[in-house]
Amino acid sequence: MNILLLGSGGREHAFAWKLSQSSHCTQLYIAPGNAGTSQCGENVDLKVTDFEGIKRFCIEHQIEMVVVGPEEPLVKGIYDYFKNDPAIEPIPVIGPSKEGAALEGSKAFAKAFMQRHGIPTASYREFDVSNFEEGLDYLRSHPIPIVLKADGLAAGKGVIICQNPVEATAEFELMIQESKFGDAGKKVVVEEFLSGIELSVFVLTDGEHYVLLPEAKDYKRIFEEDQGPNTGGMGAISPVPFADDDFMKKVIKRIVDPTIKGLEKEHIDYSGFIFLGLIKVGDDPYVIEYNCRMGDPETESVLPRLKNDLVELLRAVVEKRLDSVKIETDPRKAVTIVAVSGGYPGSYEKGFLIDGLDVVQEEDGIVFHAGTRSDGDQIVTNGGRVLAVTSFGGSLKEAADKSRAILEIVEFEGMHFRSDIGYEFF
């Protein structure tokens, strides 16, 4: 089977690594990919939102499956673009329809969906320019902290947790009246603050049935002990120690089942991944957010623990027979540590040589590339998150030590990583 994978981050290198291990994968193309994905298949110079270019490529290269890594093409309707064009309609796209992707693309849509289906989530109100004054009154009278969320995609920056009403009203004004997050923030979801510990649960669905992949936890803050600004993710662990059987039963009964049934009942065409961003409050799970794709860097911890053949799994999605699939998981613990450019998540330079990559052996750990590119026969930095190193261990501590040891070997100018990924569970 010829497969086209869309995306260019650490998540996509992990996908490419796993897909290329399948005997069903004849030729793997990655658009646009990075220096790591080019070791698993052939990179193609196409943007993930260039639907016409992707169509032409699929026809010319007899692509038989498109796997979508990031949310943007899904939220922009790549699934529907294929479905509505007879020339490419038979090519399955792993990912939801535009309507399904609105679970991530519109916070207001996701909240209303959860409310309709009795799925536990923080209580909320929705405001825009039409009820702006009412919103200000609501913010002034609401207990703090309070959470403001831009409705649309805002590159992971659209959530603001406000510690006092002055900050809340100022941010609210900036979002609605000054378009702080562009059109994405013209509608604002104002949400009750939930206090607890977060985890990421991954569902793969064919629209009728579903399987759960290993759960994970990511570490969003730039500095140790979760200090400093938010990033795209500085590391991940899998499994998550507090996601025990009792807790996961609640997740399935209260969140996963009603989500899949809700999508079906509302005739929302959804096949592919659902990433549940959950928070455990007391002993109970609540949904913080839905994403219509896998997480990054969680994927770099999750896919190495998945024993199933990924192409077979995705075929079962296309053929709507996920009920016949059993997920097999490596019982070992995985810890992923992300190495980022100096200055990230603020401004940073690119183009620094990455040294030591050829010294790392796969039995020590896997070095997934995120923001990298080839420059002649060298590999150089090309983004904020540069590498995601995953190792296994009998304990999370052992796995973390191994990933850290690799990052003592690999280096580039300005490199920073968190040495405490998984620390609460050591």
Query: Which positions touch ligand AMP (CB under 6 A)?
Result: 122, 147, 159, 161, 191, 193-194, 198, 277, 288-289
| Residues near 68 by beta carbon (within 8 Å), at least 6 away in sequence | 6, 7, 48, 74, 78, 79, 93, 94, 95, 272, 293
Rounded to an integer, what distance in angstroms lies between the CA atom of residue 122 and that of residue 110?
12
Rounded to an integer, what distance in angstroms lies between the CA atom of residue 237 and that of residue 4?
28
Which residue lies nearer to ligand GLY by CB, 218 or 420? 218
**Out of 291, 336, 381, 382, which residue is the one contacting ligand GLY (CB under 6 A)?**
291
191 binds, among ligand GLY, ligand AMP, none (CB under 5 to 8 A by kind): ligand AMP
Least Å distance between CB 240 and ligand AMP? 14
**Out of 12, 99, 171, 218, which residue is the one contacting ligand GLY (CB under 6 A)?**
218
Q: Which two tokens stand for residue 350?
A: 């690119």
Which residues in the 230-249 window bind ligand GLY by CB under 6 A? 233
Q: Which two tokens stand for residue 171?
A: 């941010």
Amino acid, single-letter form, for residue 352: F
Which residue lies nearer to ligand AMP by CB, 256 or 287? 287
Amino acid, single-letter form, for residue 391: S
291 binds, among ligand AMP, ligand GLY, none (CB under 5 to 8 A by kind): ligand GLY
Stretch touching ligand GLY by CB under 6 A, among 110-118, 172-180, 183-191, 291-299: 291-299
Q: Give the distance, in angstroms, between the CA of residue 340 and the centroid of all CA atoms in the same chain.
A: 17
DSSP assignment letter at 5 = E
289 binds, among ligand AMP, ligand GLY, none (CB under 5 to 8 A by kind): ligand AMP
159 binds, among ligand AMP, ligand GLY, none (CB under 5 to 8 A by kind): ligand AMP
**Out of 171, 206, 296, 420, which residue is the one contacting ligand GLY (CB under 6 A)?**
296
Rounded to an integer, what distance in angstroms lies between the CA atom of residue 307 and that of residue 284?
29
> In 3D, which of 39, 96, 44 has the Cα closest to residue 73?
96
Which residue lies nearer to ligand GLY by CB, 270 or 273? 273
Task: Give the pairing type, strands 2-7 and 221-223.
Answer: unpaired
Least Å distance between CB 193 and ligand AMP? 4
298 binds, among ligand GLY, ligand AMP, none (CB under 5 to 8 A by kind): ligand GLY
Which residue lies nearer to ligand GLY by CB, 105 or 233? 233
Which residue lies nearer to ligand AMP by CB, 189 or 325? 189
Stretch touching ligand GLY by CB under 6 A, among 95-103, 240-248, 292-300, 418-426: 292-300
Rounded to an integer, what distance in angstroms lies between the CA atom of residue 187 and that of residue 235?
31
Q: What is the DSSP string of 37-77?
A: GGGTSEE----TT-HHHHHHHHHHTT--EEEE-SHHHHHTT
Asked whether 124 and 112 are in contact (CB, 8 A), the reply is no
272 binds, among ligand AMP, ligand GLY, none (CB under 5 to 8 A by kind): none
Task: Give the pairing type, strands 27-32 and 2-7.
Answer: parallel
- N-terminal to C-terminal alpha carbon distance within the chain: 42
- Cis ω before 145 (30° cut-off from 0): yes
Which residue lies nearer to ligand AMP by CB, 90 or 118? 118
Token look-up 């969320």 returns: 149
Rounded to an integer, what distance in angstroms lies between the CA atom of residue 355 and that of residue 378?
9
Least Å distance between CB 324 and ligand GLY? 29
Alpha helices in 204-326 (DSSP H): 245-251, 257-265, 298-305, 310-318
Stretch touching ligand GLY by CB under 6 A, among 169-177, 290-298, 387-395, 399-407: 290-298
Least Å distance between CB 210 and ligand AMP? 21
193 binds, among ligand GLY, ligand AMP, none (CB under 5 to 8 A by kind): ligand AMP
Asked if 9 touches ligand GLY (CB under 6 A), the answer is no
Which residue lies nearer to ligand AMP by CB, 8 or 200? 200
Amino acid, single-letter form, for residue 69: G
Which residue lies nearer to ligand GLY by CB, 135 or 422? 422
- Cis ω before 304 (30° cut-off from 0): no
Backbone phi and psi for residue 13, each to the nearest 5 degrees, phi listed first:
-65, -40
Rounded to an integer, what distance in angstroms lies between the CA atom of residue 105 and that of residue 162?
22
Stretch touching ligand GLY by CB under 6 A, among 12-20, 289-297, 309-317, 390-398: 289-297
Least Å distance between CB 161 and ligand AMP? 6
Site string for ligand GLY, 298-327 (x = CB under 6 A): x-----------------------------
Interaction site with ligand GLY (CB under 6 A): 218, 233, 291, 295-296, 298
